[in-house]
Amino acid sequence: MAREKSYRDVLDGRVSIHDSVQEMYEKRLSDGKMSNVFDRFDAQEKIRCNFCVEGVSCQLCTGGPCRISEKAGAERGTCGIDPDAMAMRDMLLRNVMGTGTYTHHAYNAFRTLKATAEGKTPFSIVDEQKLRDMAATVDVDNTGSKEEVALGLAGTMIDQLSSGYEGPTMMVDKYAPKYRKKKWKDTGLYPSGVFHEIKDSTASCLTNVDGYYVSMAKKALRLGIATIYGSQLGLNLVQDILFGTPKPHSIQTDLGILDPDYINIVFNGHEPWTGVATIYAARDEKVQKRARQAGAKGLRVIGCIETGQELAQRFGMNDVFGGLIGNWLAIEPALATGAIDVFAMDENCSPPYLKPYEDKFQVTLVSVSELVRIPGVERNYNYMPDKVANVAQELISLGIENFKKRKERGIEAYVPQITQEAMAGFSTEAVLETVGGNLAALVEVIKEGKIKGIVALVNCTTLQNGPHDYMTVNLARELIRRDIMVITGGCGCEGLETAGLACLKAIEQAGSGLKEICSKLQIPPVLPFGTCTDTGRISMVVTAIADFLDVDTSDLPVAVTAPQYLEQKATIDGMFSLAYGLYTHLSPTPPITGGENLVKLLTEDLEGISGGKVALGDEPAAVADDIEKHILQKRKALGI
């Protein structure tokens, strides 16, 4: 059933809030020039059915496909499953996909640390203090050489992925807030290792196994906890050890960073390994000389979506790293510029129909992950830590050859001349350093009300509730105007950086209290923490504040929003937020509304179980009002 209002109606026909993307859409994508996500969404919008929108359809067994319809007398599926369980089972399967992808990333992080300690990668131990601190926290001997400590830590982190049902789960036990651990044990939400939670959740979704929506919801919450502590937090810390803990610095964003006179190798996805290796390789003057001999000004590495964010969080702008072009809805517009030579894809967020862009705009598409395969793309490299340096060199050679072909074919580049400065590189350590290394100083400005509270904005981007990044950008503006600081990660982070909300000029858009603090500390009102994977990193800030105040996380004036979430990783982040005890705004509305009892559980009853609850809403100002109301209630309860 088609919706009455299209996403294009929100901004007078625009497909994106960003002028650069809009310009590329009009210039090179629209009116049948290229198949693109914006037009494909229009076609799908006409034929969607309410059964899928409400989560009451199922294709899991030959008893179906089944749909729930009271009007048709089909109040249960063939097997007897009710609408609440049908919707929750579908959501749990989404959650498993998200956890599986995060855990793939985590395993790669841990085996890369091991290979680096063995001298098999181009990487090194950059943050040795964090290595030794993390080792001590997880009871690994940290007194040997850094290589010995890294080997011990890598082995321990790999083992903890599959820790069993007996005894505490190491990463939860060592890093979770103390009151949360008790809450999770009391409510049956304390997880085992993430591999077991994936296994158990998936097996529960088999036909005629778990048909109770409350049981499956609790499994999703356990899975969320296991994901953040077993997968995300560990990989966050290990990447810091290998590449350095992020520190605030200036970067350039948006499509205008692409210079067609350079060989541009773009890294897209979520894992930084090959991108970092290529940055290291491209620093060699011999590589730059080869680029100039091919007729280019030089060779640059450019970031796109989360891999780009990983690079941007740690590498400042220089002759090799050229900045960040945007999030996943900017991929097709970027390829259509005719300025990209290699588009290297890892793990996820690489749309499957990019081959026409390769052919028309002379781009070399390459997969650098065993997970990613694009129809028509023949260059595929599985990630192996001991081979990544060789792959980086091959990508450089491909880039040089592609640049020559671009020139031979006379590909006319068209790049919108729009760039935006942003301040990237925030982390728990960076936030503390900003306030003089004293958590009490941060807590004090919150107590004084100059910062009313903190909202973590972590999400993807979608067209389901408005143009590209519309809801994300406008909600963030509404929040900072109310003196609520925003910490951000994921594709939403790129959206806010590109929209100019993560630079010092954005301070003028903040309320008087937040403006005063940001001006004094010289930080923007929106702090980029990186990728969706950095949900674990963001949780460390909340944990630090809760433990400092000796309260539970659910007592704090904080909230979470995913204002334009898209896919499965976002859903498991949301489940963690609920298990963590936080008010969690979601937009668009998840496909569960056909299960009335399930909706009540997530929006009302869950608050009495975990302390968290789901809030809905697609209008930025109204959503901000609700979040502010929640934050003020938490402040009042704390007596501040």
Q: Is 614 left (phi over 0), alpha (psi -120 to 50) or beta?
A: beta
If asked whether residues 103 and 182 sit together in one domain, one would say yes
Torsion of CA 78, 79, 82, 84, to 10 degrees: -110
What's the confidence (pLDDT) of residue 168? Answer: 86
If asked whether residues 225 and 271 sit together in one domain, one would say no
How far is C-alpha 41 from the chain's CA centre?
22
Which ranges of 435-567 would DSSP assign to H, the alpha helix? 439-448, 470-481, 491-498, 512-521, 535-549
If asked whether residues 399 and 430 sit together in one domain, one would say no
Is residue 2 over pLDDT 50?
no
Annotated binding residue at 491?
A: yes
Domain-located, residue 585: yes
What's the confidence (pLDDT) of residue 436? Answer: 84
CB neighbour class for 569 (10 Å; exposed up to 12, middle 13-18, buried from 19): buried
Summarize pLDDT for 217-267 with one digit per residue, the tens.
999 999 999 999 999 999 999 999 999 999 999 999 999 999 999 999 999
- Give how many domains the chain has, as a whole number: 4
Band (pLDDT 50/70/90 cuts) for residue 1 is very low
If asked whether residues 95 and 212 sit together in one domain, one would say yes
Residue 578, CA distances (Å) to 445, 492, 524, 624 in order:
26, 20, 28, 19
Interatomic CA distance for residues 632 and 453, integer angstroms = 8
Domain-located, residue 76: no
Band (pLDDT 50/70/90 cuts) for residue 132 is very high
Domain-located, residue 458: yes
Calculate the average pLDDT of the chain: 96
Query: 468 by DSSP, 3-state: which?
Result: strand
Pairing of strands 453-459, 342-345: unpaired
Domain-located, residue 4: no
Annotated binding residue at 205?
A: no
Residue among 468, 420, 430 at smallest CA distance from 323:
420
| CATH at residue 320 | 3.40.50.2030
**158-167, 286-295, 365-374, 630-639: lowest mean pLDDT where?**
158-167
If asked whether residues 115 and 41 sit together in one domain, one would say no
Interatomic CA distance for residues 388 and 448, integer angstroms = 50
Give the residue numbers spanning the domain of 118: 83-243
Q: Which one of 191, 223, 243 terminates a domain?
A: 243
Q: Which two tokens stand for residue 147?
A: 């290589």
Interatomic CA distance for residues 175 and 323, integer angstroms = 33
If asked whether residues 142 and 173 sit together in one domain, one would say yes
CB neighbour class for 306 (10 Å; exposed up to 12, middle 13-18, buried from 19): buried
Domain-located, residue 358: yes
Which residues, including other chains, have CB under 8 Å from residue 591's CB and lie 6 or more apart?
52, 53, 54, 55, 87, 90, 91
If asked whether residues 65 and 95 sit together in one domain, one would say no
Rounded mean pLDDT of 122-147?
Answer: 98
State the amino acid at position 399 in one-letter form: G
β-sheet bridge partners, residue 487 = 456, 527
If asked whether residues 337 and 452 sit together in one domain, one would say no
Domain-located, residue 5: no
Band (pLDDT 50/70/90 cuts) for residue 435 is confident
What's the confidence (pLDDT) of residue 576? Answer: 97
Q: Which one of 193, 215, 243 terminates a domain?
A: 243
What's the confidence (pLDDT) of residue 200? Answer: 98
Rounded mean pLDDT of 151-166?
Answer: 96
Summarize pLDDT for 494-513 with one digit per residue, the tens.
999 999 999 999 999 999 99
Band (pLDDT 50/70/90 cuts) for residue 3 is low
Identify whether 563 is preceded by a cis peptide bond (ω within 30 of 0): no
Whether the CB-CB separation of 116 and 108 falls below 8 Å is answered with no
If asked whether residues 208 and 66 sit together in one domain, one would say no
- Token pair 């290529």 is found at 278
- In degrees, rounded to 5, the angle at the alpha carbon of residue 89 between the alpha carbons of residues 88 and 90 is 90
If asked whether residues 433 and 310 sit together in one domain, one would say no
Helix, strand, coil abundance in the chain, percent, nearest 5? 50, 10, 35
What's the confidence (pLDDT) of residue 4? Answer: 63
- In degrees, rounded to 5, the angle at the alpha carbon of residue 561 between the alpha carbons of residues 560 and 566 is 130
Q: Which two tokens stand for residue 463?
A: 């067209």
If asked whether residues 455 and 343 sit together in one domain, one would say no
DSSP assignment letter at 74: B
The half-sphere exposure of 457 on its side-chain side, counting CA atoms within 13 A, is 38
Annotated binding residue at 493?
A: no
Domain-located, residue 416: no
Domain-located, residue 77: no
Whether the CB-CB separation of 191 and 225 falls below 8 Å is answered with yes
- In degrees, rounded to 5, the angle at the alpha carbon of residue 334 between the alpha carbons of residues 45 and 500 is 90
Summarize pLDDT for 290-341 with one digit per residue, the tens.
999 999 999 999 999 999 999 999 998 999 999 999 999 999 999 999 999 9
Annotated binding residue at 349?
A: yes
Rounded mean pLDDT of 376-404?
Answer: 98
Q: Which one of 71, 104, 133 terminates a domain?
A: 71
What's the confidence (pLDDT) of residue 187? Answer: 97
If asked whether residues 233 and 380 sit together in one domain, one would say no
| CATH at residue 137 | 1.20.1270.30
DSSP assignment letter at 402: H
Q: Which two tokens stand for residue 184?
A: 């999770």
Interatomic CA distance for residues 626 and 475, integer angstroms = 11
DSSP assignment letter at 16: B
Whether the CB-CB separation of 279 and 392 falls below 8 Å is answered with no
Interatomic CA distance for residues 309 and 298, integer angstroms = 22
The half-sphere exposure of 549 on its side-chain side, counting CA atoms within 13 A, is 22
Interatomic CA distance for residues 610 and 180, integer angstroms = 9
Query: 586 by DSSP, 3-state: which?
Result: strand
Whether the CB-CB separation of 458 and 532 falls below 8 Å is answered with yes
Annotated binding residue at 304?
A: no
Annotated binding residue at 196?
A: no
Summarize pLDDT for 19-44 with one digit per residue, the tens.
999 999 999 999 999 999 999 999 99
Annotated binding residue at 52?
A: no
DSSP assignment letter at 589: P
Whether the CB-CB separation of 595 and 53 falls below 8 Å is answered with no
Query: 531 by DSSP, 3-state: which?
Result: coil
